[in-house]
Amino acid sequence: MYRAAVLGDIESIKGFTAVGLDVYPCDNAEQAAPLFRKLAAGGYGVIFVTEETAQWLEKEIRAVSEQVLPSVIPIPGVKGNTGLGIRRLKESVERAVGSDIIFNN
């Protein structure tokens, strides 16, 4: 069975332990990149990443985006929504369907 992990600043992710997810706090790109690579290779089916942390991990996230697993889901952190999650959703739908059916503008 696959597990789920959450990666980001401690204030944004600490509540996820209450629902049984593995939490991995990181405060900068130097911590985030090796930790993300470890999670991606470590049997996780889903890795939730705060949007701020995901911005540090562009290269690493792109590297695993062509694989079936893990699925990397950007989530807002305590500092708010940066719009990264919506942009990633739009890109995924466009790749799958061939056009923008969500934000048709």
Condensed to tens digits (0 to 9), the pLDDT of residues 50-86 reads 999 999 999 999 999 888 899 998 998 888 777 777 7
Q: Any alpha helices (H) in 28-82, and if so which ranges?
A: 29-40, 51-56, 58-65
Query: pLDDT > 90: what percent of the chain?
Result: 61
Q: For residue 97, is it left (φ>0), alpha (ψ between -120 and 50) or beta? A: alpha
| Residue 92: predicted pLDDT | 67
Domains and CATH numbers, the chain: 3-97 (3.40.50.10580)
Cα separation values, 4 from 23, 24, 30, 40, Å: 9, 11, 22, 11
Q: What is the mean pLDDT of the chain?
A: 87
Q: Please report the pLDDT score of residue 56 as a whole number.
A: 94
